[in-house]
Amino acid sequence: MSVDTVDNLLKRHNLSVTDSRKKILEIFKEQNNALAHSDVEKRTGEKFDRVTIYRTLQTFVEKGIIHTIPTADNAVMYALCKDECSAGHHHDKHIHFICDNCNTTYCLDSVVTPEVNLPEGFKPKLIDVVVTGICDNC
Ligand SMILES: [Zn+2]
Ligand SMILES: [Zn+2]
Ligand SMILES: [Zn+2]
């Protein structure tokens, strides 16, 4: 099988396969856009409680399976990582786009995060670039 199954993905990240992990990961795999906690909750059909979903999302972030995207209203969005991320090491060097019209958050994988020139003594750890505007569906 060439396609990485949800089970394989979990095992590769040293996670045991549980119902909630499987289901939530499937939701992310079906979806190209970023999802908020509430989107995940809706798509699981209220099968899991908020705490379970929250913990599962946190675990996925820690393990390098999904990454977070900050939004203007402080609602964190989550999106699936590409293969090179691992536990504690995210390498998602792409920018994010939030459409003002349809509110969809996109991972623009082809657009590399630009370098920033910081003053001497400042060391960047994470550069999150979020661009807002109108997407190609609108
Ligand atoms: Zn990542
Ligand atoms: Zn749009
Ligand atoms: Zn992304």
Q: Tell me, what's the pLDDT at 3?
A: 65
- Using the mean position of ligand 1's atoms as its centre, give its distance from the Cα of residue 92 in Å: 5
Torsion, Cα 10 71 102 30, to 10 degrees, reads 0
User: Which candidate, 124, 97, 129, places its Cα nearest to that of 113?
Assistant: 129
Q: What confidence tens digit (pLDDT) does each residue in 39-80 have?
A: 999 999 878 999 999 999 999 999 999 999 988 777 899 999
Q: Is 77 helix (H, G, I), strand (E, B) or coil?
A: strand
Q: CA-to-CA distance for 113 and 97, rounded, in angstroms?
A: 12
- Using the mean position of ligand 2's atoms as its centre, give its distance from the Cα of residue 97 in Å: 10
Q: What is the mean pLDDT of residues 99-123?
A: 93
Count of helix runs (H) and strand runs (E) in the chain: 4, 6
Q: What confidence tens digit (pLDDT) does each residue in 83-108 have?
A: 678 888 888 889 999 999 999 999 99
Which listed ligand is nearest to 78 at the C-alpha?
A: 3
Tokens of 50: 């908020």
Which listed ligand is nearest to 100 at the C-alpha?
A: 2
> pLDDT-based confidence at 37, cuts 50/70/90?
very high
- Look at the alpha carbons of 111, 112, 113, 118 in this order and tell me if their dihedral is positive or negative: negative
pLDDT of 1 > 50? The answer is no
Tell me phi and psi for residue 86, to 5 degrees.
-140, 180
Task: Quote the percentage of the chain above a pLDDT of 90.
Answer: 69
